[in-house]
Structure 1
Amino acid sequence: MSSDKKIDVSVVVPLLNESESLPELIEWIDRVFKQESLVGEVCLVDDGSTDNSWEVICELKEKYNWIKGIRFLRNYGKSAALQMGFQEVSGEVVITMDADLQDSPDEIPELRRMILEDGYDIVSGWKKKRYDPITKTIPTKIYNAATRALSGIKLHDMNCGLKAYRLDVVKVVEVYGEMHRYIPVIAKWNGFGNIGEKVVEHRARQYGSTKFGLERFINGFLDLMSITFVSRFKKAPMHFFGLLGTLSFLSGAIAAVWLLAEKVYLSINNLKVAREVTEQPLFYLALTAVIIGTQMFMTGFIAEMVSLNQPNRNDYHIKSRIE
């Protein structure tokens, strides 16, 4: 493939110990490229495999010159693999899929069409019929429902590895930690809000075993909390901490003033005081609320100062420019 030839589609495949499935996957993708007359490339990112996956990739490169390969020194996770793959590819449409043959390359043409013709920024796969155990499907449904509620993105299967992106989306979004599950969320908050969905085939795993355990659902929920906070308050952390601090401080102050006013009223009217102010639980709750409110304010100010000193504080993504 000529280096200056326009690439129609790039496929990014993160993998970990998938040496058995790689030859079949690449052969399948090759058939799709030829059937659809597509100029394509595949970036295989070996995320620290301990089998002979890298050797298989090198052998495949000798047969298919459009293969790119990246090998990590150790396992960094799927997000890191996708981020590196996104940096390497240049096709007008970028498609991600897993290496275990549970995603079908036959979906590539339609996913590409939906990006180019229907105008979507992202098209996410929906594995409506799954071949996973109930221990995986039930937590997945709960996780997807929580993500839809918090993000406002109505996707049935947020964690589906089979997705298509417009090239400028993958060049803008930054995927780190375990945030690969939330690329549509990150993209939406970066201005790419035209997100579609397509029912895709989910195939039973043919080789090896799944690399993910139940802990990914706990991590996924924590990541959702993190990305929700960072995306909304990254530029103005005081809006978050200041609001909570104000509510806490005011509630504590009002309760304290009420208690003091009650004591003064009873004293002026020579009425018996049931309990001293300092003997009432509400006083200590009010004092705690005032202290927490003050701390939240200070946290907000410190966060604002850190944000002000970041070199990329005003790093905004520009869609177009006239000079």
Structure 2
Amino acid sequence: MNISVVIPLLNEKESLKELYDWIAKVMQSNHFSYEIIFIDDGSTDGSWQQIETLSKHDPNVKGIRFLKNFGKSQALHAGFSKAKGEVVITMDADLQDNPEEIPELYKMIVNDNFDLVSGWKKKRYDNKLTKNLPSKLFNWAARKTSGVKLNDFNCGLKAYHNNVVKHINVNGEMHRYIPVLAKNAGFLKIGEKVVQHQARKYGETKFGMDRFVNGFLDLITIWFISRFGKRPMHLFGALGVIMFAIGLSFAFYLGVDKLFFHPYGRLITQRPQFYISLVTMIIGSQFFVAGFLGEIILRNTPDKKRYLIKKELNF
């Protein structure tokens, strides 16, 4: 199979038929063998019934229905686990991503040997104040922190080699950082393509300003995980040793000063340096223990499923 199109969605009933027709037209005109995987992330507007109708009409349409809303990352994870195509395309269900971009994205993966190609919505139709400016700041921070030189981390239209989606673990709210996850997994050939962005045709966006706050918090998380996720002792142990060394130095200074320079002066416990020494050694010990516990937890935590599937179609 050439292409798997993975589409997570939440309450997008009005756009699904139009999106399906558009994708099918592109696939058939380019003679691709394909599957379209819709992941219903707890919709309440009849989106699943629309997916059932489409799947009965076309066996290339497949559906996964979550028991409730688990989030876009979990939806992508479920879609990736089922995808069979050589190239996996992700896109949003709101018709803002253009399926006409799919053939070129496919060629960049197959012919140019990219592991991942991310779309770049260079010209956007979103509100400049509430979306464009925060998005630019967010993308700048993501580039500086991750080292992945992309202009648009948030674009839902991306193409992956099948090998990539089978070896990355998308969880929490990390769908924004799939290119970073891919890089950390060893998939280094990451490209970017300017894609057409379209104004939303039906309904309202499911994301507000809080997604940028969450995005920055997730950025800190992924920076920590990428550097210390497999070796927490390297961070906490180092901090613990530094803090303990500072405290020990103060204690040594107080001891030498008392024994050789001011034997009849104030008691050590009456000097502020004593409490600095005590507190820093305690904090250092706590950091060290935190790193040790992190190593134990890391080695003994089994993989846990992060979502529950209610129903599947055509798998």
AA matched with 1:296: F
Residue 20 of structure 1 aligns to a residue whose secondary structure is helix
Q: C-alpha deviations, 1:95-114, integer Å up to 9, x for none? A: 00000011000110111111
From 277, 285, 292, the equivalent of 1:286 is: 277
Distance 2:165 2:200 in 1: 28
Output the CA distance in 1 between the equivalents of 2:248 and 2:124: 55
1:300 lines up with 2:294 in the alignment: no
Pairs aligned (count): 302
Structure 2 CA distance for aligned equivalents of residues 213 and 95 of structure 1: 25
For structure 2, the residue ranges without an aligned partner over 5 or more in a row are: 304-315
Say whether 1:122 aligns with 2:126: no
2:262 aligned counterpart, secondary structure: helix
Determine the structure 2 residue equivalent to 1:77: 71
- TM-score of the superposition, structure 2-length normalised? 0.91
Aligned-pair identity in percent equals 55
Deviation at 1:36, TM superposition (A): 1.1
Equivalent positions of 1:54-93 (< 5 A) are 54-93=48-87
> In structure 1, what is the Cα distance between the partners aligned to 2:277 and 2:141?
33
Distance (Å, rounded) in 2 between the aligned partners of 1:287 and 1:145 = 41
Q: Which runs of 5 or more structure 1 residues have no equivalent in the other structure?
A: 1-6, 313-323
Q: CA deviation at 1:277?
A: 4.2
| Structure 1 Cα separation of the partners of residues 154 and 271 of structure 2 | 51
Check if 1:163 corresponds to 2:158: yes
- Is 1:103 matched with 2:97? yes
Alignment partner for residue 250 of structure 1, among 230, 245, 253? 245
Where does residue 306 of structure 2 map in the other structure? none
1:213 maps to: 208
Q: State the distance in 1 between where 2:254 and 2:174 align.
A: 48
**1:306 CA displacement:** 2.6
Higher relative contact order (CA 8 A, sep 6+): 2
Equivalent residue in structure 1 for 2:187, among 187, 192, 213: 192
Match of 2:261 in 1: 266
> Structure 1 stretches (4+) deviating beyond 6 angstroms?
none
Distance 2:95 2:271 in 1: 66
Q: Does residue 42 of structure 2 align to residue 51 of structure 1?
A: no
CA RMSD of aligned residues (A): 1.8
1:42 equivalent to 2:42? Answer no
- Which of 207, 231, 238 is the matching residue for 1:236? 231
**Cα shift readout 1:30-54 (whole Å, capped 9, x = no counterpart):** 1111221111110001111110111
Give the TM-score taking structure 1 as reference length: 0.88
| 2:166 alignment partner, SS class | helix
Structure 2 counterpart of 1:183, from 178, 181, 185: 178
Give me the whole-angstrom Cα distance separating, in 2, the residues matched to 1:306 and 1:62.
46
Match of 2:312 in 1: none
